Amino acid sequence: MIGANVNDWLNEHGDYLYRFALARLRDPHQAEDAVQETMLAAIKNNSFEGESTPRTWLTGIIKHKIIDIQRKQIREQPLSDLVDLDATDNSMDDFFDQTGHWLERPQVWDMPGSALEQKQFLATLSKCLDNLPAKLAALFMMRDVHEIDNEKICKELEITATNAWVMLYRARMGLRKCLEMNWITG
């Protein structure tokens, strides 16, 4: 009976949920785990509200499961690793000189026009995300892709708002630098 339920859910929504998780976690194994945790939670609490469809119900569950996985990934490292990233220290020396001026001025980005360019650009972006330190990438995905608000992120990760801003700043600086180096336009 339980097996039949899970089977039906996976047949109808499994691919959708998997893609939903993969788009936010980027790792196939983690995405599979998110689907599995969603099924476990759904079986335990098999009562979606009358007004919502099974898909919106399951999507609501997987959103939380994705945050659980991202939190684990980010908190695996000792917190000191995370808070050591004070932006007033010299961790931004790659980008700015002593007086706070850009060492290399940001370029104008012409966004890709054709479908092929778009595809290449997104492939480069994907590689740049892979190159980012894992916890910075996970936090960036949480904020800018999963679109969790800052307050909730701080609560989930037990970090201060300042820590979150500093880490997000580092992640974005790293990504834009990587894109400038690896994606040449025109």
Provide the binding-site residues for another protein, judged by CB under 8 A. 2-3, 6-7, 10, 14-15, 17-20, 22-24, 28, 32, 35-36, 39-40, 43-44, 87, 92, 95-96, 99-102, 105-109, 111, 118, 121-122, 125-126, 129, 140, 143-145, 150, 161, 164-165, 168-169, 172-173, 175-176, 179
**Nearest to residue 142, comparing CAs of 150, 36, 34?**
150
Shortest distance, position 165 Cβ to another protein, whole Å: 5
Shortest distance, position 121 Cβ to another protein, whole Å: 7
Record the tokens describing residue 127, joined without a space. 């590689």
Shortest distance, position 51 Cβ to another protein, whole Å: 24
| HEC assignment per residue over 44-94 | HCCCCCCCCCHHHHHHHHHHHHHHHHHHHHHHCCCHHHHHCCCCCCHHHCC
Record the tokens describing residue 143, joined without a space. 């904020």
Q: Which is nearer to another protein, 56 or 126 (CB)?
A: 126
Phi/psi at 102 (5° precision): -60, 135
Shortest distance, position 110 Cβ to another protein, whole Å: 10
